[in-house]
Structure 1
């Protein structure tokens, strides 16, 4: 007797491995750009060109009226780029994805809808417990752009802003030395027959490297101090020339500070910037010399430094001019905005391609590194330990 014919072939009846659907559905993003209201903050996360690229990919961007004015981008620039403008602050904060330079205030978190995603700076040292508790209550997902890593394991946002701070430190010093600003009348520049300006740079990281690059470009003599031989070796390689380098030894440092016209502090610590220049050392510096303490954001590396602001940027101690304005890049908001925008745009387009932030966090380890709140659950170990809050490993929450 013949067996009934089967609609399946023998091959089809053999058990197969299960193949799961992993196609990523492209998602439409609705991004809100609120106006920064913190003191002296004039930067914006997306330039009109970036908004154009994002809207051309099918996403929507809602900008609060006047949000780009500080960086010299008008509302009409954003409208021409495909953005939407509103005067209603609450409407912007009701967008599912928010981009800010400064972390949101408690009042701004109140305006957010539950389950909103915010990408901004965290500035952990300026926060308190109530900030994280409020984010948790609203089940917010929050990413700190200063913690996002690229494929090389570097921090692109921190690097970009450090480049600006390094170049700025030399430009600011040259302004302060001008006689019109009651400075000592010396000019950065390699003038025939005139001894060059002497610059001491403490710290051979990104800020130090870009300060050194700018000072050399203007014709100054530089001396770079750092306790990391690797960093000192790297700065020489990157500058493609032999420069004076030294570890931070009080005797060598004091000798250099006595002779210098400009001293730039660009050194960071784990918690607070280490104080490497004492009051006594500053006392021995030339009258009219300039100190630019870029490390002031984390406490300053000159003992005599004090926090100042863009309206009253300098103080004088022992006849030495001290510049201690935190957040130096906000002095050049247009350049800083373009720089931040260049980092944000590819991430936003990728989030759209991946079908939303959830998928991007799964696939992008560097972006995941920036995450510190996930649907109201604290996921950053450092923040948890700093503020004595419970935290969970993001890898257990996402996969």
Structure 2
């Protein structure tokens, strides 16, 4: 991938400071591709430590190690990180800097938006990056990880050492496997189903979108049992489920609450609920957000795992996943010779922008925060 870019970008990779965030956006391999293309990359000291990437590996790849975050922000034209900038980091951001990070819609404040707009930062959100095929590449990757991980987590909490029922997910000859009920047939639900089948569990998937259930049945060769997510089927499935994976969600909206208190009360003692949509409010009424350091609680004798940021616990895998999506965009940004031309050419990045040239460019955000809005297409066309 050696093609000298038209414009050399100064890219900064700060260490994540928010609780429980262990991922980065670029691996040393990604950095070496960027430096081969003539870009400069600054990595804050120990930024990769939780994902087991050393400063030495980043240096070998051509990055410069920054010993202070403030210095890194002042040296970079573009900041690439996972969590949204903290208050302190926002203060360090400079006019016309480019920010590429998640936005975490549920926790965004008016003040945060105001600061980005006033400073004239061009902010691109991972949640909004939407490719021409209609897919959200970063959201999809994280959902794949979350779905697979949710079953791995549930298997662990079914064991005696975790105060579970003391059963194996897969069963063995002469002993039937555990039953896994998955709520939602989206990407998270699909990857949870694939992993649960791999373990040898009996898998039920429930959703109200018949087309998605049909797609999943075909994709998994009819090895799952599907049902509409109505009260009767949900109550029955939860009554005999050993594991419930909550993955019911609507993109950009609060998760629908499908599981009521009485349904949880009727579950087997020692069974496990993993609510993967807790960052969108959760789809189980008894769910409350937990943390990686204190991940579970018991209610009605059912173990609840409700950590909002599951991929962060497999930081190395998740960093590779982010890197694979982000590096091509950064190369394209350099090749375009600047952010304006790049947004003009690149649909995914253009879809990702939520503040540009001192305007909010997402209608939903301008409604939410009652701030003026300009369409990104109009801003680019008018060469502002």
TM-score by length of 2: 0.96
- Paired with 2:368 and 2:176, the residues of 1 have a C-alpha distance of 49
Runs of 4+ in 1 over 3 A off after TM superposition: none
Secondary structure in 2 matching 1:157: helix
TM-score by length of 1: 0.92
CA deviations over 1:122-150 (Å, ceiling 9, x no partner): 11210111111111121111000111112
CA deviations over 1:166-213 (Å, ceiling 9, x no partner): 001000001111112222110122411111110000000000000000
Secondary structure in 1 matching 2:43: strand
Q: Is the 8 A contact 2:146 2:311 kept in 1?
A: yes
Secondary structure in 2 matching 1:79: helix
Alignment of 1:256-335 (within 5 A): 256-269=237-250, 271-335=253-317
- Paired with 1:25 and 1:173, the residues of 2 have a C-alpha distance of 46
**Equivalent in the alignment of 1:15:** none
Secondary structure in 2 matching 1:332: helix
Q: Is the 8 A contact 1:41 1:330 kept in 2?
A: yes
Alignment of 1:61-100 (within 5 A): 61-94=41-74, 95-100=76-81
CA positional deviation for 1:324:
0.8
**Equivalent in the alignment of 2:361:** 379
Secondary structure in 2 matching 1:200: strand
Say yes or no: does 1:390 pair with 2:368: no
CA positional deviation for 1:160:
0.1
Q: Is the 8 A contact 1:106 1:134 kept in 2?
A: no
- Paired with 1:180 and 1:303, the residues of 2 have a C-alpha distance of 26
Larger radius of gyration: 1
- Paired with 1:344 and 1:272, the residues of 2 have a C-alpha distance of 27
- Paired with 2:312 and 2:284, the residues of 1 have a C-alpha distance of 22
Say yes or no: does 1:221 pair with 2:207: no
Count how many residue pairs are aligned between Structure 1 and Structure 2: 376
Say yes or no: does 1:149 pair with 2:166: no
CA positional deviation for 1:217:
0.5
Say yes or no: does 1:341 pair with 2:323: yes
Q: Is the 8 A contact 2:5 2:37 kept in 1?
A: no
**Equivalent in the alignment of 2:39:** 59
CA deviations over 1:90-127 (Å, ceiling 9, x no partner): 12112111101001122211112211110000112101
CA deviations over 1:342-392 (Å, ceiling 9, x no partner): 110010111111112211100112210100011221111111011111110
- Paired with 1:238 and 1:92, the residues of 2 have a C-alpha distance of 46
- Paired with 1:344 and 1:228, the residues of 2 have a C-alpha distance of 31
- Paired with 2:54 and 2:71, the residues of 1 have a C-alpha distance of 19
- Computed over aligned residues only, the root mean square deviation of the Cα atoms, in angstroms, reads 1.2
- Paired with 1:237 and 1:386, the residues of 2 have a C-alpha distance of 39
